Amino acid sequence: MAIKAFISKLNSSLRLYNGSVAISRGKTSKIPPHKLELYEYEASPWCKRVRETVNILDLKVRIKPCPRETFRVEGGYSNNISINRKELAEKYGRERLLFPCLVDVNKNIVLNDSSMIIEYLWNEYGNNFAHERPKIDKFLNGLPKLLQLPLLFTFFPMNGVMASPTKFINSENLSNQPSHKPLVLYSCEPSIHGRFVREALSTLQIHYDYISTADHAKLDDIFLQKASTFHFNSKEHFILIDPNNIRKKCDSIGEDKGDANADFDIDATENFVCFLENDSENAIKYLFDTYQNGDTLKMTNQIENNLGRNGSFMKQMVENISSSSFLK
């Protein structure tokens, strides 16, 4: 765990801990009435940029992880593995299978380019706070993309890149099956142990509400209650809550749990499964024990009946690097 923590800290330091400080929102700040949805996967360099911006703007987003099934094709997936890629393709079309992909139902906006997403979020939800934008963020996102890439790569990701078959049932599934509520993760992008938990959530394709714990972020009563038992360090710690399971009884979705999109009441969190501080090892074990439904796929996995975008991953990377738009 010490080696993993060192590597995680190295990844954060390369980005100068960008995303660890939020703007100071007042009562007049513009908050989207409905949560933003972000289709992305951990360790993607371009997804990382967007998560940093989400933290800086102190926005609550619902993350719908879309890890890869293979590196043989770009955007590929199969019907029986990638629940969130399938959802994205069915809702918005195959051409949207670029990540990150932001969906803002408040404005009927769907964007799948990291630079466009960042610009949109600042214009729509951070326009009144442009003067508070951290200088580090301005500098890093002002670099040409080719120079940004080495600073965005995640070294030795433990999980989060490749998908694993999951028991998590999407709350928007079209069948009459009972569904899971999204989990809740209080963390920020540079958090050492928060990253480990995000990697597991990504691999297992688990929906979760991502609530920023960056400095100056406005935190709710649930967080304050849970964090009152220890000194919370935003660059190291996290709090993960699973509203689908209660402590010492992890049979999850047998009973009706109400609206899967509704926030839960603070009094109800007392019995929910909860991991916090630097206990990422047990949190990851719990997530895999509870939600994994098969072995994690290999990078060389062959997809039959590919439903995603066609094209070689390496060919796409060469085209991107050689194109003038990639250098801007």
Residue with tokens 């490749």, as numbered in its chain: 162
pLDDT given for residue 170 in this prediction: 79
Strand partners, 211: 186
Kind and range of the H or E run holding 238? strand 238-246
- Give the pLDDT band of residue 232 (cuts 50, 70, 90): very high
Report the distance separating Cα 57 and Cα 122, nearest Å. Answer: 8
Position 169 pLDDT exceeds 60? yes
Look-up: residue for tokens 């007042």? 26
- Residue 265: per-residue pLDDT: 52
Mean pLDDT of 63-67: 96
Q: For 283, phi and psi rounded to 5 degrees?
A: -65, -45
Among 88-92, 241-245, 248-252, name the one with the lowest average pLDDT: 248-252
Say how many CA atoms lie within 13 Å of 142 toward its Cβ: 7
For the ranges 103-112, 149-158, 189-198, the lowest mean pLDDT is seen at: 149-158
The answer to which of 33-37, 130-134, 172-176, 271-275 has the lowest mean pLDDT is 172-176
Distance of CA 20 to the CA centre of its chain: 16
Cβ–Cβ under 8 Å, residues 88 and 327: no
The SS3 call for residue 80 is coil
DSSP 3-state helix, strand, coil percentages of the chain (rounded to 5)? Answer: 40, 15, 45
Write the CA distances from 292 to 110, 159, 207, 241, integer angstroms.
30, 13, 14, 17
Model pLDDT, residue 203? 96
Q: What is the mean pLDDT of residues 211-238?
A: 92
Provide the residue type at 307 as one letter: L
Q: Which residues contact 144 (CB under 8 A, 6 or more apart)?
A: 327, 328
Model confidence at 199, pLDDT cuts 50, 70, 90, reads: very high
Q: What is the mean pLDDT of residues 236-253?
A: 73
Residue-level length of the chain? 328
Instruction: Give residues with Cβ within 8 angstroms of 100, minimum separation 6.
Output: 38, 39, 40, 44, 46, 47, 50, 112, 114, 117
**Buried-state track 143-155, b at ≥16 Cβ within 10 A, e below 16:** eebeebeebbebe
Question: Which token pair is 324?
Answer: 């003038």
Cα atoms in the 13 Å half-sphere on the side-chain side of 54: 30
Determine the Cα–Cα distance for residues 49 and 69; give it in Å rounded to an integer.
Answer: 22
Let me know: does 166 contact 288? Beta carbons within 8 Å: no
H or E element at residue 243: strand 238-246
Q: What is the reported pLDDT for 312?
A: 54
Rg of the chain over Cα atoms, rounded to whole angstroms, equals 19
